[in-house]
Chains A and B, each alone.
Chain A
Amino acid sequence: MSLDLVFDYLVSPVFLRGALMTLLITVCSLFFGVLTGLVIALVQETRSKAGNMVVLVYLWLFRGTPVLFQIIFIYNVLPSFGIRFTAFTSAVLALSLNEGAYMAEILRSGLQAVKKGQRTAGLALGMTGAQVMRLVVLPQAARIVLPPIGNQMIGMLKLSALVSVVAVEELLLVANQVASANFRYFEALTAAGLYYLALTTVFMVLQGMMERSLDPKRRRVGSRTPTLMERLTGSMVRASVR
């Protein structure tokens, strides 16, 4: 056991690249996942029969099979139908499509949580449909969907480790390769673990900042968002001071 070696791994270019790759996969998959989810949520809102049918099949496929299966399928099976992607593209594609299925649910519940009367009130003030969406519905829906989207962000970071199966050089694969060369598993995996913890912590801090910036009462005394420690351990205690 050597802490020096852990430190050497932490600052080594190989691990740094691995961590950056993990971050890149996570950010890309989240971005396209949210986009996919938004499209699905809006299709579901329009209540078109054909659109909803397509969405239903999509949700059934991607929520009914393991992500690991989806990654391997896209990378290994699609080429036999002439559809060939690089390992990275396959990974991001699988994770995005999978994420979109869950994101759609979150976004839709957020839009629906804004009651119809709020839209009516906006319209009655002479706003156009687009203005009502932008000024009344979305600001309220954003506040509702941010905590579950934050959870998805953290989840995606951890999920990205799965793409090591298609040989994308992300953090876990790098750690495993380094360790199997010299059997210093403890040091290599500790270094990888520290990177994961650092990344999730950064995500949680970001989530907290976004939640605060969307809280209209943030300047008030008594309004309270969870502290970082509560976020990290998932032990948010509701302040019941009312």
Chain B
Amino acid sequence: MTAAPLSTAVLTTPPRKADAMTTPTRAELKSKPLVEVMAIDKSFGPSRVLKQCSLDVRTGETVVMIGPSGSGKSTFLRCLNLLEPVDGGNIFFEGRDITRERDKAHLVRREIGMVFQSFELFSHLSAAENIMLAPMNVLGLSRLDAHDLATELLGKVRIPDKADAFPDELSGGQQQRVAIARALAMKPKMMLYDEPTSALDPEMIREVLDVMADLSAEGMTSIVVTHEMGFARRAADRIVFMESGEIIEAATSEAFFGGSVGERARRFLDQILH
């Protein structure tokens, strides 16, 4: 990767894991991108939050997005699942242009799970009910099937004994893992994580990252906005660096951690790594 801004380039370099340089990763096996973001623009009033941002994400790939706060990472994620309408550009999901699907946006969102910094578990429902709500009301699962699904997913996120606990009775790390399980219950084709560990106490960050890393290893396509470089090193196929609304770099994990990063990304890394 060069230091030149790649904001308009559609990146097609096959991603590779740092620890699997010789064998092709699962992402390389599938050639078609799951998501293609083409030069999207987004403004809030006079401030341009996204400028001509482009990114391809292949099935099974895990992309970590880093960058200073206010650089547009969260907005990028929110545009991807149509929580924010874009001003220009196109977003393709499974080859279909979803950019302007206002009325059918909820159909797109069913296939894309999202996890928030502040968890946003529904406070009037128990952990299991939080997970069951969407499958029952959106997918039409029976209560029994939804409950089985919730039990299975709570086991997957390693808190099988917290099914009946309410959000305010769970630690931050547990709440975030329930939130991940809730998103997984819709059987999404892709997961978006918006700073999932930023609101957590340090001792709880690990348990959440472990769950996310497991999911990535199982082949869940993921975009993760985070400052956890340890996670990026462990689970990312590619690292995207954003600054002032532009995608400055999108490098394979090994290139990035191998040191071939541009000046601005290096400066940012120096700052967050102290």
Contacts and interface: CB of A to CB of B under 8 A. Distances in A.
The finding on whether chains A and B are genuine partners in a shared complex, rather than unrelated, reads yes
Interface stretch (B1-9, B133-141, B209-217, B265-273): B133-141
Nearest to B111: A126
A7 B137 CA distance: 55
Contacts of A143: 124
Interface stretch (B112-120, B232-240, B256-264): B112-120
Interface string A103-122: 00000000000000110111
Contact of A121 (B110, B116, B138): B116
B109 A126 contact: yes
Contacts of B166: 216-217
Interface in A128-145: 128, 131, 135-136, 139-140, 143
Looking at chain B's contact residues, is the secondary structure mostly helix, strand, loop, or mixed?
A: loop
Interface residues of A, number: 19
A124 B118 CA distance: 14
A125 B120 contact: no
Interface string A194-224: 0000000000000000000000110000000
B122 A136 contact: yes
A127 B106 contact: yes
Interface in B91-119: 106-107, 109-114, 116, 118
A140 to B, nearest CB: 5
A78 interface: no
B224 to A, nearest CB: 15
Interface size class of B (residues with CB under 8 A): 20 to 34
Nearest to B82: A123
B186 A125 contact: yes
A124 B81 contact: yes
Contacts of A117: 116, 118, 120
A126 to B, nearest CB: 3
Interface string B198-237: 0000000000000000000000000000000000000000
Contacts of A125: 109-110, 133-134, 138, 182-183, 186
B122 A123 contact: no
Interface string B135-150: 0011000000000000
B116 A120 contact: yes
Contact of A140 (B81, B118, B122, B183): B122
B138 A124 contact: no
Contacts of A118: 120, 122-123
A230 B110 CA distance: 47
A43 to B, nearest CB: 24
Contact of A131 (B81, B122, B138, B182): B138
Contacts, number: 64
A140 B134 contact: no
Contacts of A216: 124-126, 166
B181 to A, nearest CB: 12
B83 interface: yes
Nearest to B105: A123
Nearest to B125: A216
Contacts of B134: 125-127
A123 B124 CA distance: 17
Nearest to A125: B134
B125 A123 contact: no
A136 B125 CA distance: 9
Contacts of A136: 122, 133
A50 to B, nearest CB: 24
A126 B116 contact: no
Interface in A64-85: none
A159 B13 CA distance: 74
A140 B124 contact: yes
Given A140-B123, A216-B125, A123 B109 contact: yes
A128 B122 contact: no
B125 A127 contact: no
A127 B116 contact: no
B223 to A, nearest CB: 13
Given A121-B114, A127-B134, 13 more contacts: A120-B83, A121-B116, A121-B120, A124-B109, A124-B112, A125-B138, A125-B183, A126-B110, A126-B134, A131-B138, A140-B124, A216-B125, A216-B166
Interface of A: 117-118, 120-128, 131, 135-136, 139-140, 143, 216-217
The 5 lowest CB-CB distance pairs between A and B, nearest first, are: A126-B110, A121-B120, A125-B134, A124-B114, A126-B109
